[in-house]
Amino acid sequence: MLTDRQQEIIDTSLEIISTIGIQGLTIKNLSKRIGISEPAIYRHYENKISILLAILDYFKSSGEQMFRKQVNVDDSPLKKIESIYEGHFLAFERNPSLVSVIFSEEIFRNEPILQEKIAEIMDRNSNVIKALVAEGQAKGEIKADIESKYLTLIIIGSLRMLVKKWQMGDKAFNHGEEVSKLFNTIKALIEVK
Amino acid sequence: MLTDRQQEIIDTSLEIISTIGIQGLTIKNLSKRIGISEPAIYRHYENKISILLAILDYFKSSGEQMFRKQVNVDDSPLKKIESIYEGHFLAFERNPSLVSVIFSEEIFRNEPILQEKIAEIMDRNSNVIKALVAEGQAKGEIKADIESKYLTLIIIGSLRMLVKKWQMGDKAFNHGEEVSKLFNTIKALIEVK
DNA sequence: GCAGAGTTAGTGAACATTAACTAACTTTGT
DNA sequence: ACAAAGTTAGTTAATGTTCACTAACTCTGC
């Protein structure tokens, strides 16, 4: 578990990331915003990588929680995918820093530990969707003449693209509407009518 | 036009980016690899941002060239989209640094000029695809009951996702096959049969 | 009285960039 | 034709800033 201060460090880090980007996440900025000195940070985390790792862990567990919540109800697979779509987007809306983290993979390139953790998170997300797609196909709800692998790619890729557009400051962007329209498009394409 | 040395700086930059990531693109690394001193770089580019801008320009014009080549032939819109798909992927294969550049947007966040250029490139790509989708719909080749905007999002998003997976070192990745399979999946979904 | 959480003051490394200068060309005025 | 003036492309040395991180000390609550 995290101490109060550790949690504060993570929260503040996410705040910084969402406002000025992951580049702005320096120990100096972090300590300034919290209101303590730079070395004080090191009383709570060994080094900066530990902080980034904790951020990714937070990211991972909040995603897991959402999956658990949505996947257990006994909706149809397609409905579950829709819930995950909306759930993810809601999470991004509540915590825009998550978006920055998602697209910051390049920055973690020189740190194998971080890169591995990101790959792990992406893999797990991908597998959950893939399993749902396969289930939907088995139940005759989703077109079965198409490899689940590529359908999964399309589903995740388009969500990422939408988030990217949002992040890039596309004005006239009604979040809820865009998400549901995109999902409806996908649904219309892959559903067995 | 670029002088020989300027071109060499861009080429070497791309080389660095593709091997150790955009983080490794420092004036020191650059000059070392070229075999001149650090200050000598500044005889050819005013500052680092100018270099990055030149890289994006290279990126932009090479994309434009590809579009021109593919869009002028009198194939069907769907076939044109396929060519663009394959053309892009081929370009990435030949020059892996382009992939790194694509996903390095977060790094340019603090530089509005660079960010703007990236938005510009993405916008143009998006508009080309969107026009082709609309044309395909008008000709009754692509399902018309779906907004071209979202189809475009799906097409671009899934290509990006495939590239991302490739970049992340997904082993057992047969490039040509993966691209054509993904495109065939998309085609099967959106085509009017 | 001591451990946990803070402080001040500092370190070394990396970074982009500048200063001052030089050698080797090219241009230009007479 | 040729010397003065200017340009190009490089050098070494240094600057100023930012960064993550550390040593050594102090405060405070149990």
Q: How far is the CA of B152 from the C1' of C13 (A)?
A: 47
Least confident range from A66-80, B54-68, B140-154: namely A66-80
Task: Report yes or no: B140 and A91 within 8 Å, Cβ to Cβ.
Answer: no
Q: Looking at this protein, which amino acid is placed at residue A96?
A: P
Instruction: Compute the C-alpha angle B179/B184/B186, nearest 5°.
Output: 100
pLDDT for B57: 94
User: Is residue B137 over pLDDT 80?
Assistant: yes
CB B101 within 8 A of CB B55: yes
Query: How far is B126 from A6, CA to CA, in rounded Å?
Result: 42
Per residue in A135-182, pLDDT tens?
A: 999 999 999 999 999 999 999 999 999 988 888 876 567 778 899 999
Overall pTM surpassing 0.85 (yes/no)? yes
Mean pLDDT of B1-9: 95
Q: Is A139 helix (H, G, I), strand (E, B) or coil?
A: coil
Nearest chain A CA: its distance from B46 CA (Å) = 23
Tell me whether A131 touches chain B (CB under 8 Å): no
Per the CB < 8 Å rule, is A160 touching B156? no
Q: What is the mean pLDDT of residues B3-28?
A: 94
Q: Is the CB of residue B162 less than 8 Å away from at least one CB of chain A?
A: yes
Report pLDDT digits (tens) over A112-135: 899 899 989 999 999 999 999 999
- Digit-coded pLDDT (tens) for B158-191: 999 999 888 887 656 777 889 999 999 999 999 9
- List the structure tokens of A115: 């890169």
